[in-house]
Structure 1
Amino acid sequence: MSIPATIIKPNQGKTFSFLGNTITCKFNNNRQEGRIYEFLATASSGVPPLHSHPWDESFYFLEGEVAFQVETETIEATPGYFVNLPAGVAHTFQVRSPQAKFLVWVSNAAAETYINELAQAAQEQSLTLEAVNAIAQKHHIQFVKVNK
């Protein structure tokens, strides 16, 4: 049994919006395996706290400048940078240019459920800090405290 080709045109795909980010699912094979998302974020987008999660994640930067933190190291990611994160590695990012676009591959469908729940809470205007924490805890997202 062969799997049919997947072709998604520009501006197509399931789109989620929250905290100033637009996230479009560009590939979902309807199994437990990975997903590919296109992130479009602006300098005024919310900055995710330093966090880790139980799925692998890879980032490929297409446009703009992003300060990308992995554990205690920060890089200035520009077009062409690639970052691969195994599950459990703490990370965060902040857009430094007016806008940035990057692709994100996640290894598990659980990430999509997490994004769906955040987007739904934002749409219902109930994306409070308490709601974010509850959704994160449900999906085994760990927020990392930085010792200064």
Structure 2
Amino acid sequence: ALWQAAVAANPRAVLLVVSSYPYVLEAEADAAAAVVWSSHGGQEHGHGLADVLLGDVEPTGRLAQEWPADAAQAGDLLDYDVIATRTTSWYSPTPHRYGLGHGRTYGDVRYAALDVAADRAPVDEDATLVAHVTVENHGARPAHELVQLYVDAPGHRLP
């Protein structure tokens, strides 16, 4: 009810979620001008959030977990068999609302020229892979970008 009143008063309202767990944010996220998530941050949490919301500091964090698109995708919080329940993006037949590593900034950061090379061919479990990517800031603001690379082990996915 509080969120609905905020959006009714200001259609540009920002949904701020402070939690340790991902939530299903269907209508709430659709109505928000932006969604900002933070874990519990201690004494300076309020000041830090204010700095981000006012644009004084770039938001640079990335999600440490996936956020489901709907309640069916969320599964049972106490069922830890993510393969059988298909509750992670590795096994889900449908995309999550926000994936692992999702995050945005006020700048215009772009990735280009991803190159992955192995130290030997054929690539096996002992091979070393090296990834290079070009990160470009096309925005007017300085940007701090944390480059993250997510990989999948051979044979990891369901058939």
Mark yes or no: TM-score above 0.5. Answer: no
Rg comparison, structure with higher value:
2
> Could you tell me the TM-score, scaled by structure 2's length?
0.24
Bigger RCO of structures 1 and 2 (CA < 8 A, at least 6 apart)? 1
> Could you tell me the TM-score, scaled by structure 1's length?
0.26
Give the number of the structure whose residues are more often strand, by fraction: 1
